[in-house]
Amino acid sequence: MITHDLGVIAETCDRVAVFYGGQVVEEADVVTLFHNTAHPYTFGLLRAVTSLGDKNKGLYSIPGVVPSADKMPNGCRFSERCGKRLDICMDTAPKLIEIEEGHKCRCWLHERGYRNG
């Protein structure tokens, strides 16, 4: 299933792969993804979800603009929009690594030596 509706994903899926800029940035079972989010883009997606009880809460939007497919950054594809960006993110693309059993993330924050939050 391909959707931006995280409510549908929560109710119907067992595993989730989150894509940004044509790449998987996070992959996990639904419970892990919703309760132990690892990638800043996934966190932004979850933060943008509204609920019926949030009448006074404004709609959250991830800052910045999605780059066009032919102008992706050299490093992490999310780096220009990321609030947790490290210097390495701008120049070197991270690999999709397993950060815990069954949970993969493409982010320098989770590479050994860069884990800082």
Q: Which of 13, 48, 41, 49 is nearest to 28 (CA)?
A: 13
Mean pLDDT of the chain: 87
Report helix, strand and coil shares of the chain as percent, to nearest 5. Answer: 30, 15, 55
Q: What is the DSSP letter of 10?
A: H
pLDDT tens digits for range 39-79: 999 999 888 776 556 566 666 778 888 888 888 889 999 99
Nearest in space to 26 (alpha carbons), one of 15, 37, 34, 18: 18
Q: Which pLDDT belongs to residue 24?
A: 98
Token pair in block for residue 19: 């894509």
Residue 117: which pLDDT band, with cuts at 50, 70 and 90?
Answer: very low
Least-confidence region, from 14-23, 58-67, 87-96, 98-107: 58-67
pLDDT score, position 63: 80
Question: Are residues 27 and 42 in contact, defined by beta-carbon separation less than 8 angstroms?
Answer: no
DSSP 95: P
The predicted pLDDT at position 52 comes to: 52
- pLDDT for residue 57: 63
Q: What percent of the chain has pLDDT over 70?
A: 86
